[in-house]
Amino acid sequence: MAGIKFGTDGWRAVISEDFTFENVKRVAQAIADYVKSERPILKERQFKLAVGYDTRFLSRTYAGLVASVLGANGIKVILTDRPTPTPSISYAIKDRNLFGGVMITASHNPAQYNGIKYKAYYGGSAMPEITERIEYFLSRQKNINYGPLDEFKAKGFVKTEDMLPRHLEFIKNYVNLNLLKKAGFKLFVDSMYGTGNGYIAQILKGGKGKVETMHGGINPGFDGINPEPKLPNLNELVKKVKLHGYDIGIATDGDADRVGIASRTGKLLTGHKIMALLLLHLLEDRHMTGGVIQTVCGTVLIERIAQRFGLKTYETPVGFKYISDIMRNEDILLGGEETGGVQFKDSIPERDGILSGLLILEMMAMRKKPLEAIIKDIDRKFGTFEYRRLDIKYPDEKKQLLMKALKRDPLDKILGKRVAEIKDIDGYKFICEDSTWLMLRLSGTEPILRVYAEAPTEKTALKILRFGKRLAYSI
């Protein structure tokens, strides 16, 4: 079982190659063994797991297999009755004081992938010490306890429920729903054939505005487009928002924990810009307090905002589990990553794409300004930062050679600019004296190399990306 490893956020693999019925049952048994080992420690929690699934091929069947294995191990299960957002599973764990949860999803990965995310007792992604224990039980596995799902339903070990209503009610109470309904926004939503289908429209139903949704059905192939809220996957959303004069476009990814935002001028915001908007909204409009967390590939813009408001800042490796871990233990207002995943104070310990999109709307409503005007204000106050990322397939045999080469012979200049600081907590980030930067990092969920760059202009950021790509292929 050496091939089954939990990466940045769970185990992901290609369906029918490594992601097979047998391997899903093996992982479920390892989770059951881990959960049983922790039962004496977490006595105050219900000895139950929530199990959810997304819209991918066979996800419902895989979820049933997981529930059957858990039931055969004497663990009670609440199984979702429909494709469900990952944050809804996290909310159910926190709301019901459950032992943890399992989500069948490959999130934003291409359609040929599926995956398993384990959510710990606190509702967030499992930390490495938990996934290492699951992998330990996997490596020592001899038998799998398993039986028909209907048998465990009849015995009361598996109960099927709709977990969405409680989560959606929480979102309605977190935002100023009355203000949003009165604002009369013309809104276009791209659900990307994922689990966020129709829920923003459902929340805003009865208001003065108009909400139109596309890609809302179930299409396990995602119509050939990866369910990740970035270009070129959101080209259609961007074009329709601009062409038909919508106030804003909102997209949620495959399991609805990330958000993409398009302005009516036809610009798709980076995850960094989304995070900055949300941070300023909580600070200036909601008058909330606390620190801020971003990953090592975060933006200088957040650093500038934090300096202006005197916020305590934290930096983590890539992986939302690290952000959630700090948020559980410190006074944090907001934690986010460059992919559009954000967690908020007094919310669930997980990203929430639906809540993120509604809070952007709330910011527009409270400031009585269009999104592009708010962004101009931010650029004027804090400076302009253009972030770009390039994902490239990179030979396995060269991956460690590249990392070793960067450690042995780190860059001292990038396009003639002196490198002033190097960060190596996750890949290598080279920061120049003018705050522009380049980062190279191996993905924890896909067989690719990620190249990141940020600069005052898009042209310069793209130049830095090309420089990084040349560097990677020169090894």
pLDDT in tens, 197-235: 999 999 999 999 999 999 999 999 999 999 999 999 999
Whether 275 and 344 share a structural domain: yes
CA distance 137 to 117: 16
Residue 3 covered by a domain? no
Q: Which amino acid is at 440?
A: L
Question: Quick one: which of 231, 212, 233 has its CA closest to 223?
Answer: 233
Residues 134 and 210 in one domain: no
H-state helical runs in 12-162? 21-38, 59-72, 86-96, 128-139, 149-154
Domain assignment present for residue 262? The answer is yes
What's residue 396's pLDDT? Answer: 81
Give the pLDDT score at 8: 80
Mean pLDDT score, 361-386: 96
Last residue of a domain, one of 363, 382, 401: 382
The order of strands in the sheet holding 332-336 is 313-316, 291-295, 332-336, 342-344
**Mean predicted confidence (pLDDT) in 72-76:** 97
* Two structure tokens written together for 400: 């460690």
Element of type H or E holding 404: helix 396-408
Q: Is residue 4 in some structural domain?
A: no
Strand extents, DSSP E, 191-247: 210-214
266 and 319 in a common domain: yes
- Domain encompassing residue 115: 11-166
Q: What is the edge-to-edge ordering of all strands in the sheet holding 158-161?
A: 11-14, 113-119, 98-104, 46-53, 76-80, 158-161
Domain finish residue from 166, 197, 224: 166
Same-domain check for residues 243 and 122: no
Q: Based on the domain organization, do 237 and 253 belong to the same domain?
A: yes
Dihedral sign for Cα 223, 229, 235, 241, please: positive
Domain boundary among 382, 409, 443: 382
pTM for the full model?
A: 0.94
- Cis peptide before 349, with omega less than 30 degrees from 0? no
- pLDDT of 300 strictly over 50: yes
Q: Are residues 305 and 393 in the same domain?
A: no
Partners of 423 in beta bridges: 429
User: Mind listing the pLDDT tens digit for each residue in 317-355?
Assistant: 998 999 999 999 999 999 999 989 999 999 999 999 999
Q: Would you place residue 7 in the very low, low, confident or very high pLDDT band (cuts 50, 70, 90)?
A: confident
Whether residue 348 lies inside any domain: the answer is: yes
CATH classification at residue 61: 3.40.120.10
Q: Evaluate whether residue 2 is within a structural domain.
A: no
Q: What's the confidence (pLDDT) of residue 1? A: 46
pLDDT at 90: 97
Same domain membership, residue 354 and residue 330: yes
Q: Verify that 39 and 93 share a domain, yes or no.
A: yes
Q: Is residue 5 part of a domain?
A: no
Residues in the chain: 475
Whether residues 292 and 434 share a domain: the answer is: no
Confidence bin at 136 (pLDDT 50/70/90): very high
Asked if 345 and 282 count as a contact pair (C-beta separation under 8 A), the reply is yes
In a domain, 1, yes or no: no
Q: Is 426:403 a contact under the CB 8 Å cutoff?
A: no
Across 35-49, 156-170, 278-292, 318-332, least confident range: 35-49
The answer for residues whose C-beta is within 8 angstroms of residue 365's C-beta and 6 or more apart is 176, 179, 180, 182, 183, 185
How high does pLDDT run on average in the chain?
Answer: 95
For the stretch 381-398, pLDDT in tens is: 999 999 999 999 988 888
Residues 248-281 have pLDDT tens digits of 999 999 999 999 999 999 999 999 999 999 999 9
Phi, psi of 147 (to 5 degrees): -160, 175
**What's the pLDDT band for 135 if we cut at 50, 70, 90?**
very high
pLDDT tens-digit map of 20-36? 999 999 999 999 999 99
Count CB neighbours of 205 within 10 A: 10
Residues 332 and 392 in one domain: no
Interior angle at CA 102, CA 101 and CA 106, nearest 5: 140
The total of structural domains in the chain comes to: 3
The reply to whether 192 and 258 lie within a common domain is: yes
Query: 3-class SS at 388?
Result: strand
Q: Are 242 and 372 in contact (CB under 8 A)?
A: no
pLDDT over 90 percentage in the chain: 93
Task: Judge if 300 and 179 occupy the same domain.
Answer: yes
Asked if the model's pLDDT at residue 3 lies above 90, the reply is no
Residue 470 lies inside a defined structural domain of this protein: yes
User: What's the CA gap between 70 and 92, in Å, rounded?
Assistant: 18
